Amino acid sequence: MLISTERIGNDLRAGAVSLTTRTVVRAMALSGDPVMRVLGRRAPADPYPEYERIRARGRVSRHPLGLHVTADHAISRAALRDPRLGVGPTRKRPGALDWLVASGEEEQLFHPIDESLLVLNPPEHTRLRRIAGPLFTPHAMRDLTPAVEKVVTRILDEAAGREQFDLVADFARRIPLEVMCDLFAVPDADRDTFVRWGGVLANTLDGIRTLGERRDVRRVLAEMTEFLGALVEERRREPGDDLVSRLAAAAPEGEPLDGRTLVVLAGMLLIAGFETVVNAIGGAAVALLEHPDQKALLLDDPDLAAEAVEEFLRYEPPVQVLLRVAREPVALGEVQLPAGGMLAIAIGGANRDPAVFDDPHRFDLSRPNKRDHLAFSAGIHYCLGAGLARLESELALRHLFARLPRLALAGKPQLRPIRNIRGPGIVPVLARGTR
């Protein structure tokens, strides 16, 4: 093999895909390789047949490029819970912002995800998780319910007044951003800026591809770092009841957190809690519109909104593939993963594993074990914001269909062209279509 598998592994993990890797991945994807089709730059519109083909190769299989892959539910769950499988060989996600390091600007500009919980192994992960965890307890989520409900109904009031609107731009996309602005107590005047940052950074979670994206990210990171830094300082001086004030007041080892850690924590919440929720709300609403029998169940019983969210997260998880690296040799099923070996865990496939879910390709609100999905991962990296995501998505669906029972698609929903975050991009709907 002319190209190092380690380099391809690092590239895929970082999203900073080199031309050589891109060419190899594209050639293999074009030749029908299901692993490269799923991990390649442009995910297929329907990845689920690819996961079937991956599973048909074995519970865990070795790809010719050296990485291992699984779409098996039991193996995926065990791997995510296995402390011998970490999130990366080094502390930092390599590559994604190498251009900043090269230009000597890494001290001023950094991508919060690159230093976040998502890329840390214990003990650093444990330390940061202890700080951020208490912000998202079930109790805290219960307290938040009226505020989230208010955001959802306000946004719906505006959208519902129109004959036709875009389910993503005019509804789903606005909810997590407004909720996050409320949680951070961002002044009204800065909210549009927050929306812009969220969009740019979420689009580059997959990696920075073009010079234009590089320029946009650089500008956003500079603005966001400055804004969050100032917000942190302000809340240190005049604490309120918001998330930033609570983070700024945290003193895990008797010392307050430094400014950079606080900006990383706040930035991570902003990014991780945005695009995924847009896709959960938008995608679940589309799934209901495309399955009128299931939509009818929700119209008859609005309490089924929570069930609809869980079944959607099983059926179409917004995050499709997670990557892990063996910190020591690990036996998985029949396969031995060497130390340093990379495992791609196709949770989109695991969630449709027929060994666990009957008739897995059916979207079915009454499915008894839908909560066994892996959409929020498992183990120590289990999504910190799962409770908030569930709250926002459930209230969004509940109010959307109660207010607009005849909501209908006005055109074919278009998928967003992002590799690993799956969801609709443009969804024209008629507010008062057919029931």
Please, what is the minimum distance in Å from the beta carbon of residue 276 to ligand HEM?
3
Cβ closest to ligand HEM, residue 10 vs residue 29: 10
DSSP 193-258: HHHHHHHHHHHTTT---SHHHHHHHHHHHHHHHHHHHHHHHHHHHS--SSHHHHHHH--TTSSPPP
Residue with token string 């689009």: 203
| Site track 36-75 with ligand HEM (rule: CB under 6 A), x = hit | ----------------------------------------
- Report the residue from 67, 277, 404, 427 that binds ligand HEM according to the rule CB under 6 A: 277
Residue 272 near ligand HEM by CB under 6 A = yes
DSSP 280-338: HHHHHHHHHHH-HHHHHHHHH-GGGHHHHHHHHHHHS-SB-EEEEEESS-EEETTEEEP
Q: How far apart are CA 397 and CA 281, in angstroms?
A: 7
Angle at 233 between CA 229 and CA 235, to 5 degrees: 115
Which two structure tokens, joined as six digits, stand for 139? Answer: 């109790």
Using an 8 Å Cβ cutoff, are 76 and 70 in contact?
Answer: yes
Give the nearest distance from C-beta 269 to ligand HEM in angstroms.
5
Amino acid at 138: P
Query: Which amino acid belongs to residue 65?
Result: L
Shortest Cβ 130–ligand HEM spacing (Å): 11
CB of 350 to ligand HEM, least distance (A): 12
* From candidates 280, 288, 350, 395, binder to ligand HEM by CB under 6 A: 280
Q: Between residue 387 and residue 406, which ones bind ligand HEM under the rule CB under 6 A?
A: 388-389
Q: Percent helix, strand, coil in the chain (nearest 5)?
A: 55, 10, 35
Minimum CB separation of residue 385 from ligand HEM in Å reads 2
Segment 300 to 329, residues that bind ligand HEM, using CB under 6 A = 318-319, 322
Q: Least distance (Å) from ligand HEM to the CB of residue 107?
A: 24
Residues within window 120-179 making contact with ligand HEM, judged by CB under 6 A: 129
The correct pick among 100, 268, 288, 325 for binding ligand HEM (CB under 6 A) is 268
Determine, following the binding rule CB under 6 A, whether residue 117 of this chain makes contact with ligand HEM.
yes
Neighbours of 41 (CB within 10 A): 16
DSSP structure class, residue 43: -
For ligand HEM, which is the closer residue by CB, 93 or 381? 381
Q: How far is the CB of 31 from ligand HEM (least distance, A)?
A: 29
Contact positions toward ligand HEM, by CB under 6 A? Answer: 87, 117-118, 129, 268-269, 272-273, 276-277, 280, 318-319, 322, 375-377, 381, 383-385, 388-389
